[in-house]
Amino acid sequence: MAVAIEATAKGNGGGGGRAGAGDASGTRKKKGPGPLATAYLVIYNVVMTAGWLVIAVGLVRAYLAKGSYHSLYYSIEKPLKFFQTGALLEVGIVPSSVVLTSFQVMSRVFLIWAVTHSVKEVQTEDSVLLFVIAWTITEIIRYSFYTFSLLNHLPYLIKWARYTLFIVLYPMGVSGELLTIYAALPFVRQAGLYSISLPNKYNFSFDYYAFLILIMISYIPLFPQLYFHMIHQRRKVLSHTEEHKKFE
């Protein structure tokens, strides 16, 4: 859901990712940020682009050193946690709803900390690498898109990549997320991780195992709707770009 959820961004000009820092490509013209806000957003997006590039380089270097794609998560675990958690800084500074943005960001943070970090056994699963690669490529493109948009110099290649590569990256990321949660289930159940059983003084119970299953089920109605919404947005945004080129 972390990848799929961020696909929705009605009014962000096509939603190639969640409405991120400095997204000013909306179908409705909105008042732009002031000079100080713009400077902050440019710096933030440059730092985040560089951070995800560090993760990408780390993956490549680890693969070349090991000669295998297994267990590459350990080579980028710290920067992945840092920069993905750093996305919390987007909450309240983006043009979309604070509630929506919070939910979108927290879905990834949840997968990183409450699943992958908490259930050590899944860290060697290939499914983790699947969503990490999808996230990394998506975020490099997304933050580059926001940076160049803020500077009013958006290369067509970056715009095209933002509204095209999701066709492969979103199903890839969602598959990795679901498989990772699924792999965590038996360990969560065995250890009773984050679960609260009765009786207790608060008269409250919580089954984290069942909670994870509910999260997996939520992908069924959400992902197709968001994915096809993005397909529609892609046609609108890229066709508009082509028409604009003809008039130039």
CB 122 within 8 A of CB 128: yes
Tell me how far apart the alpha carbons of residues 5 and 119 are, in angstroms, rounded to a whole number: 23
Cis preceding-peptide flag for 171 (omega within 30 of 0): no
Q: What is the pLDDT at residue 98?
A: 74
Q: What is the pLDDT at residue 27?
A: 44
Q: In the chain, what's the furthest Cα-to-Cα distance?
A: 72
User: What's the distance, CA 124 to chain centroid?
Assistant: 21
User: What's the distance, CA 126 to chain centroid?
Assistant: 18
- Beta strands in the chain, from DSSP E residues, in sequence order: none
| HSE-CB of 98 using CA atoms within 13 angstroms | 3
Bridge-partner residues for 206, per DSSP? 196
Closest CA to 186 of 217, 201, 160, 208: 208
Q: What is the pLDDT at residue 13?
A: 39
Report the percentage of the chain scoring pLDDT > 70: 81
Q: For 161-179, give one letter per residue: b (16+ CB within 10 A) or e.
A: bbbebbeebbebbbbbbbb
> In which band, very low, low, confident or very high, does the pLDDT at 96 lie, cut at 50, 70 and 90?
low
Tell me how far apart the alpha carbons of residues 128 and 195 are, in angstroms, rounded to a whole number: 24
Q: What is the pLDDT at residue 220?
A: 93
Q: Give the model confidence (pLDDT) of 22-76 as tens digits.
A: 544 444 455 667 888 889 999 999 999 999 999 999 999 999 999 999 999 999 9
Q: What is the pLDDT at residue 105?
A: 86
Answer yes or no: is pLDDT of 215 > 70: yes
> In which band, very low, low, confident or very high, does the pLDDT at 226 lie, cut at 50, 70 and 90?
confident
Q: Give the model confidence (pLDDT) of 185-214 as tens digits.
A: 999 999 999 999 999 999 999 999 999 999
- Beta strands in 106-189, from DSSP E residues, in sequence order: none
The label of the residue with tokens 């290649």 reads: 157
Q: Please, which residues have CB within 8 angstroms of residue 163's CB and are 6 or more apart in sequence?
A: 14, 16, 230, 233, 234, 237, 238
More confident residue, 151 or 92: 151
The label of the residue with tokens 């959400």 reads: 222
Considering the candidates 6, 90, 125, 177, report the single residue annotated as catalytic.
177
Average pLDDT over the chain reads 86
Identity of residue 43: I
Closest CA to 49 of 176, 160, 113, 141: 141
More confident residue, 100 or 127: 127
Instruction: Classify residue 11 as left (phi > 0), alpha (psi -120 to 50) or beta.
Output: left
CB 161 within 8 A of CB 210: no
Cis preceding-peptide flag for 33 (omega within 30 of 0): no
Q: Whole-model pTM?
A: 0.86
Considering the candidates 44, 163, 170, 208, report the single residue annotated as catalytic.
170
Whether 170 is catalytic:
yes
